Amino acid sequence: MEAVKTMFGSKESKTKSSGDRITYTIAGKKFQVDKRYKPMKKLGSGAYGVVVSASDKNTNDKVAIKKIEDVFGNLTDAKRILREVKLMQHLDHPNLLKLTDMIDPPTGSELEDIYMVTPFMQSDLHRIVYSENQLTLDHIQYVMYQVFCGLKYLHSAQIIHRDLKPSNILINEDCSIKICDFGLARGVTELTAEVELTEYVVTRWYRAPEVICSAQHYGYEIDIWAAGCILAELFLREPLFRGKSYVDQLNCIFEVLGTPSEDDMKCVTNAKASKYIAKLKNKDSVALSVVIPTTDENALDLLSKLLVFDPSKRMSVDEALAHPFFDAWRKEDDEKLNLCANIFDFSFEERINGRESLEDLLSEEVIKFRPNCGLSVRPSKKGRTDDDGDKPKRKRSTTS
């Protein structure tokens, strides 16, 4: 797939040495790293940081380094970054992005910017969808099979991704993929089952109906819906449901699936949403063969079982992997590979009560990779509150 070779950004960089760090300036951003890494080229940027490719002199591998500046400037964002850092160390699956290193700050410097090192991936599915690269049925089957393998592993750890979309699926030239961006992920356990989950998850076009309808409780099914939307997009080369608002998103869904039946409406517990849908003119569903440009019956059947209004009637990840659409790619040893040995523990979030606790928790994560880095962590204080943003920041010791 030639399209995955093309990345954004300039190859030009400027360097400056200072103490135990080298500063590289790439696309106007400074990357202060140790001598192990040599940043080369900007790959992309988002709400939380800038990503560059780099060479790892220890392994001779190409890696990606994500820099998040002023990580404690917004404590909500810092909490999401901490969650992602912990998740990326817990998850160990070829179709999920793994954290391989965190670069500590220079000696005597404040822990202010976070550097996350991961395997290098050439592109993402969003770029492929909007490229001129041909996507064959084999390509689509292989990519989506890997997506469901990654989801099965994630769900076996009792984690919902909550923001699955093409730009969060990284891809290489050989069509191998890794799901990334776990900052919005949440757990589904007995402890969290009664917690109201926010509807402000998942980019609108991939948002499941139960989330749009302000469901207080939802589960793995929202990831399955998003995967169905992505599968449709690979055929269409554009999103299937392109709503301009919450209400318009529902209307776009109903244009294809038809208005929900009386039985399906039982899953809508929000009175306002239920009232709105009840006032709509009844619409029949449209045959997916009319909407999706494929004659592959297995693809259309799979889509019909993924894109289901009532989450209780939606196909599970196990059922998706067992579907005939993936017969050519299914492997006997996938069952063991796709199961996480341990449920992810979100209880660390109970320790978060302000800036100091977040500084300590993120320092702990850096220390896991760099045990001799000199970062220190405050002794735990039960019931401590530290919401004062002007509290002293955690510094790296000048001795190691």
- Lowest pLDDT segment from 208-217, 286-295, 302-311: 208-217
Q: What is the pLDDT of residue 381?
A: 55
> How does residue 93 score in pLDDT terms, banded at 50, 70 and 90?
very high
* pLDDT at residue 32 tops 60: yes
Distance separating alpha carbons of residues 363 and 385, to the nearest angstrom: 18
* pLDDT at residue 185 tops 60: yes
How many CB atoms are closer than 10 A to CB 120?
A: 18
Q: What is the pLDDT of residue 82?
A: 95
Token digits of residue 374: 């000199």
263-279 mean pLDDT: 88
> How does residue 383 score in pLDDT terms, banded at 50, 70 and 90?
very low
Q: Report the percent of the chain where pLDDT is more than 70.
A: 86
Instruction: Give 102 or 272, the one with higher predicted confidence.
Output: 102
Q: What is the pLDDT of residue 396?
A: 47
- Lowest pLDDT segment from 226-230, 238-242, 272-276: 272-276
Distance separating alpha carbons of residues 43 and 259, to the nearest angstrom: 42
pLDDT in tens, 337-380: 889 999 999 999 888 999 999 999 999 999 999 998 878 887 76
Q: Report the percent of the chain where pLDDT is more than 90.
A: 68
Q: What is the pLDDT of residue 18?
A: 55
Which one, of 296, 300, 302, lies nearest residue 320 by Cα? 302
Q: What is the pLDDT of residue 391?
A: 41
6-17 mean pLDDT: 49
Q: What is the pLDDT of residue 380?
A: 65
What is the pLDDT of the chain when averaged over all its residues? Answer: 86
Instruction: Give 79 or 192, the one with higher predicted confidence.
Output: 79
Helices assigned H by DSSP within the chain: 75-90, 125-129, 137-156, 209-212, 221-236, 246-257, 271-279, 288-291, 297-306, 317-321, 334-337, 355-369
Q: What is the pLDDT of residue 4?
A: 52
* pLDDT at residue 197 tops 90: no
135-160 mean pLDDT: 97
Which one, of 105, 19, 115, lies nearest residue 66 by Cα? 115
7-16 mean pLDDT: 50
**What's the distance, CA 123 to chain centroid?**
15
Catalytic residue among 101, 104, 124, 163: 163
> How does residue 311 score in pLDDT terms, banded at 50, 70 and 90?
very high
Q: What is the pTM of this model?
A: 0.88
Q: Is 327 known to be catalytic?
A: no
> How does residue 257 score in pLDDT terms, banded at 50, 70 and 90?
very high
Distance separating alpha carbons of residues 65 and 119, to the nearest angstrom: 9
> How does residue 7 score in pLDDT terms, banded at 50, 70 and 90?
very low
281-286 mean pLDDT: 94
88-97 mean pLDDT: 96
- Lowest pLDDT segment from 127-141, 220-234, 346-360, 383-397: 383-397
φ and ψ at residue 200, rounded to 5 degrees: -85, 60
